[in-house]
């Protein structure tokens, strides 16, 4: 081994040490800020909530073959349904049928006569099916002639709402357009919103009937936040004038997305209204109802809000 000259060794060591600060400086340089991550664009269904179906839409099919119709609804892609009738089955039977097809029923309709006969039985049926909401769907014409009748309804609905609360479910009222027809100087829908206990009785807003009455669903959501956890999503064909007379008939309704209602605007406001669930409904279909509900499902499943 050759002898290392002491002077050469010190000189080379000094050069090597002199380079250390430069390397340290390079190592400590701040990395460039990463580009901000852009959130992915919204995708359907609206607000990430599953598309539901009110079974009234397929009532004739259910009457003929309840089990087969439920299977076809599930095959379309629906995950949630709102019950309307049991078609001769018990509530437990309905729950079993829904479970077998990967469906749930977050809400159901019970008519006023049934509620007056035994609200407790209606509540028990709702719970057996797995409903979170028990809804009174319509006041028949003899039940809504005077403001005094509405006052009595409010008293009854608040009581039922308290019973539902004690049972762990929520009571709600479903509107049509006739609630916007003045009785004297009073608009019944406004009266209901004022007189009903907002915690005991929620509103299932039917966006079609509010619109058909010449009113704005969004305005009500903004004015009464949290009152509308349920929505009915049904569309209106063009060319129909606003009315507060109930005119439920063929030729008025369209598949969702095929009519005149601005659904993006409604769903954008729906969180302020308290939305939890929404249900497609089409009272009358001009094509086979199962085809209609498929069209509505496909539109909503892609609707980004």
Contact predicate 86/93, CB 8 Å: yes
pLDDT at 80: 98
**Phi-psi domain of 47 (left: phi exceeds 0; alpha: psi -120 through 50; beta: other):** left
Query: Does residue 5 lie within any of the structural domains?
Result: no
* Rg (the chain; Cα; Å): 30
Contact by Cβ (8 Å): 174, 232: yes
Residue 18 lies in a domain: no
Q: What is the mean pLDDT of residues 260-270?
A: 98
Per-residue pLDDT, 37: 72
| Structural domain count of the chain | 1
In a domain, 20, yes or no: no
Question: Sign of the C-alpha dihedral, residues 81, 83, 89, 93?
Answer: positive
**CA–CA separation, 125 and 136 (whole Å):** 14
How far apart are alpha carbons 303 and 305 in whole angstroms?
Answer: 7
- Residue tagged 């004015």 (tokens): 223
Spatial CA neighbour of 176 closest among 222, 141, 126, 131: 141
Tell me the C-alpha distance between 297 and 141, whole Å: 32
Q: Is residue 110 part of a domain?
A: yes
Cα–Cα distance for residue pair 175/194, rounded to 1 Å? 15
Predicted TM-score (pTM) of the model is 0.87
In a domain, 40, yes or no: no
Q: Where does the pLDDT of residue 22 fall: very low under 50, low under 70, confident under 90, or very high at 90 and above?
A: very low
Q: Is 13 inside a domain boundary?
A: no
Domain hosting residue 139, numbered range: 46-302
**pLDDT tens column, 31-63:** 667 767 777 667 789 999 999 999 999 999 999
Across the chain, what does the average pLDDT equal?
A: 91
Per residue in 142-185, pLDDT (tens digit) is 999 999 999 999 999 999 999 999 999 999 999 999 999 999 99
Cα(284)–Cα(248) distance, rounded to whole angstroms? 8
Whether 160 is in a domain gets the answer: yes
105 within domain boundaries: yes
297: domain CATH number is 3.20.20.150
The pLDDT of residue 7:
46
């Amino acid at each position: 081994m050759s002898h290392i000259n002491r002077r050469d060794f010190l000189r080379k060591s000094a050069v090597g040490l002199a380079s250390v600060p430069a390397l340290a400086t390079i190592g400590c340089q701040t990395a460039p800020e990463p580009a901000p991550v852009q959130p992915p664009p919204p995708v359907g269904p609206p607000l990430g909530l599953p598309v539901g179906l009110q079974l009234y839409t397929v009532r004739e099919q259910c009457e003929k073959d309840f089990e087969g119709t439920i299977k076809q609804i599930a095959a379309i892609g629906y995950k949630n349904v709102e019950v309307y009738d049991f078609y001769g089955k018990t509530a437990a039977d309905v729950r079993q049928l829904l479970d077998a097809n990967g469906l749930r029923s977050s809400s159901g309709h019970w008519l006023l006569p049934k509620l007056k006969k035994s609200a407790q039985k209606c509540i028990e049926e709702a719970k057996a099916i797995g409903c979170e909401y028990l809804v009174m769907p319509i006041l028949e014409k003899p039940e809504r002639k005077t403001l005094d009748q509405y006052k009595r309804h409010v008293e009854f609905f608040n009581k039922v709402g308290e019973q539902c609360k004690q049972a762990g479910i929520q009571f709600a009222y479903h509107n049509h357009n006739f609630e916007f027809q003045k009785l004297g100087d009073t608009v019944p829908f406004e009266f209901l919103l004022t007189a009903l206990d907002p915690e005991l009785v929620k509103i299932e807003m039917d966006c079609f009937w509010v619109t058909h009455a010449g009113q704005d669903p969004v305005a009500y959501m903004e004015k009464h936040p949290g009152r509308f956890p349920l929505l009915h999503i049904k569309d209106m064909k063009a060319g129909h004038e606003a009315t507060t007379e109930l005119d439920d008939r063929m030729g008025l309704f369209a598949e969702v997305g095929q009519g005149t209602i601005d659904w993006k605007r409604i769903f954008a406001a729906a969180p302020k209204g308290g939305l939890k669930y929404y249900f497609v409904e089409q009272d009358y279909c001009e094509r086979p109802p199962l085809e209609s509900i498929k069209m509505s499902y496909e539109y909503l499943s892609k609707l980004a809000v």
